[in-house]
Amino acid sequence: MSDTSSLTSGVAGRYATALFEIANEASTLPAVEADLTALEAALAESGELRELISSPIYTREQQAAVMAELSSQMKIGKEVANTVALMASKRRLFVLPELIAAVKALAADARGEISADVTAAKALTKAQQESLAKALSKNTGKDVTINMSVDKDIIGGLIVKMGSKMIDTSVASKLANLQNAMKEVG
């Protein structure tokens, strides 16, 4: 339990820890992750849903009714539906995105995985991503899943974020460091 608690904190963390432990004990973790991914996609697609969970103008009852209907329409499992209903009744829906991220992180940690957010100037090939994942796995001792994004502004190199660690080998960062060094000299 202490490892689980150290990964999450705050309101979202408490709900995430409880949902993770319930799903883990019931052996429904893959289904819960799928339900959370579906909710995450719904939040990304719908500005109205994002407003509903974050705006204080909606009552508990309104939030609960909408989330219950959404859970029913999306065929969300009882663990996630009950958690969302509890959050609505306590006016805690505003932390739903953080809860989703925290449960996914707990599940990945339980599987011995870690996620690495990688930013490159151009998309890496599958072979390059696999090579990077292997190198990061050696470093962390865990299986690494790469979440790739492209940002042409970094010019070249990579920015890798894993948990609280960040490795920035981008050309833009090196140029900024060089510029700062030049200012100190002159």
Q: Tens digits of per-residue pLDDT, 15-68?
A: 999 999 999 999 999 999 999 999 999 999 999 999 999 999 999 999 999 999
Strands across the sheet containing 143-150: 143-150, 113-120, 158-162, 165-168
Contact 20, 101 (CB under 8 A): no
Contacts of 74 by beta carbon, 8 Å cutoff, 6+ apart: 35, 38, 39, 42
Helix (H) or strand (E) holding 113: strand 113-120
What class has domain 2-108? mainly alpha
CATH number of 113-185: 3.40.30
- Ordered by start, the domain boundaries in the chain are 2-108, 113-185
Question: 136-177, pLDDT tens digit by residue?
Answer: 999 888 999 898 999 999 999 999 999 788 999 999 999 999
Q: Are 91 and 63 in contact (CB under 8 A)?
A: yes
